[in-house]
Amino acid sequence: MIIVRDLHKRFHQFEALRGISLTVNPGEIYGFIGHNGAGKTTTLNILAGLSHPTAGTCQVNGRDVRQITHPSDLQIGYLPEDPAFSPWMSARETLIYLAGSHTQSVKAAGRVSQLLDWVGLTESANRRVGGFSRGMRQRLGIAAALIHDPDLLILDEPSSALDPEGRSDVLRLILQLKQQGKTVLFSTHILSDVERICDTVGIIAHGVMKLEKPMKEIQQDYLMPVFDIELAAPATPELVMSFRQDQNVLSVDIPESADFSHIGSGHLVVAVKDAPRASITLMRLLAEHQVPILSFSQRNHTLEDIFIQEVNGHEAGSD
């Protein structure tokens, strides 16, 4: 469905994308994750035919994005990060208008009531969109992306403006789309959403792809014991170095700080090989460095840990 190879995008002197490659296979849910400014929206705009790459190749539904005459040639459904609609039109009028601009307008118009119900806007169908909250506009945007029943959907932060219940509804909708045989690529910074529903995960940072793997492989490759340590004071570089020098420690991450010359966080995430041995060693090192502890707990590695590790450039096994 989507094949991207060595994609670059430059805005004057700023290189937003620096040779990313990714593949989205038919029928899968692909989670595209990264911090704000990592290059997610720039990538999705290119995939949707709204922007041309500076270099590299990009095929969507078998079409080269450089060769299309209009974004509709790609036959996708697209949800921008902050969808905008005519404020004087109702939700129903908006979808009917969008349906009427397509050759399949009769079929699409019949989907309006179904889609409004599906995204939870039936009771607000005749209200002006100008009075909608951002979350309601997000729901309407999802319905708009589906109006022509595309096989491929590209969604930019589809759940970012929603409350927990709304987020769960969106994830349920995405899973239902997969069950219907559709392919979904969505960007997000909500890592728990990716863990819940995605088949493949791509991590981007500073315009570079850091990781692309099936979720099952990530769970297998990164499944390891992790200790969450909360300190009463910021961790010192000496303490972190002593942890990393232990042969049983795979990695040490400081979620709130990537600057290890001046570590300002009291939260350490330590991945280890042998949890029982590591618990003894870590406690001993904490005592030797006379660091007061607020909490010391063990759990399994999560996608958030992997994300922090990849973005900060730490590799398992490094000192």
Look at 310 and 29; give whichever has higher pLDDT: 29
**pLDDT of 317 higher than 90:** no
Residue 64 pLDDT class (50, 70, 90 cuts): very high
**What average pLDDT does this structure show over 99-112?**
65
Q: Which residue has the tokens 């589906």?
A: 146
Look at 305 and 89; give whichever has higher pLDDT: 89
**pLDDT of 250 higher than 80:** yes
pLDDT value at residue 178: 94
Q: How far apart are CA 298 and CA 93, in angstroms?
A: 53
Look at 168 and 103; give whichever has higher pLDDT: 168
pLDDT value at residue 151: 94
pLDDT value at residue 259: 39
**pLDDT of 57 higher than 90:** yes
Look at 100 and 69; give whichever has higher pLDDT: 69
Lowest mean pLDDT among 118-132, 233-247, 256-270, 278-292: 256-270
**What average pLDDT does this structure show over 85-101?**
89
pLDDT value at residue 230: 92
pLDDT value at residue 78: 95
CATH of 2-217, one of 3.60.20.10, 3.40.50.300, 3.40.50.10210, 3.30.360.10: 3.40.50.300
Q: Could you tell me which CATH class the domain 222-311 is placed in? A: alpha beta
Show me where the domains of the chain are located: 2-217, 222-311
pLDDT value at residue 185: 97
pLDDT value at residue 315: 41
pLDDT value at residue 224: 80
Q: pTM of the entire structure? A: 0.76
**pLDDT of 127 higher than 70:** yes
DSSP per-residue letters across the chain: -EEEEEEEEEETTEEEEEEEEEEE-TT-EEEEE--TTSSHHHHHHHHTTSS--SEEEEEETTEETTT-SSGGGG--EEE-SS----TTSBHHHHHHHHHHTSTTHHHHHTTHHHHHHHTT-GGGTTSBGGG--HHHHHHHHHHHHHTT--SEEEEESTTTTS-HHHHHHHHHHHHHHHHTT-EEEEEES-HHHHHHH-SEEEEEETTEEEEEEEHHHHHHHS--EEEEEEESSPPPHHHHHHHHTSTTEEEEE-TT---TTS---SEEEEEES-HHHHHHHHHHHHHHTT--EEEEEEEE--HHHHHHHHHTT--TT--
**Please, which residues bridge with residue 203 across strands?**
33, 211
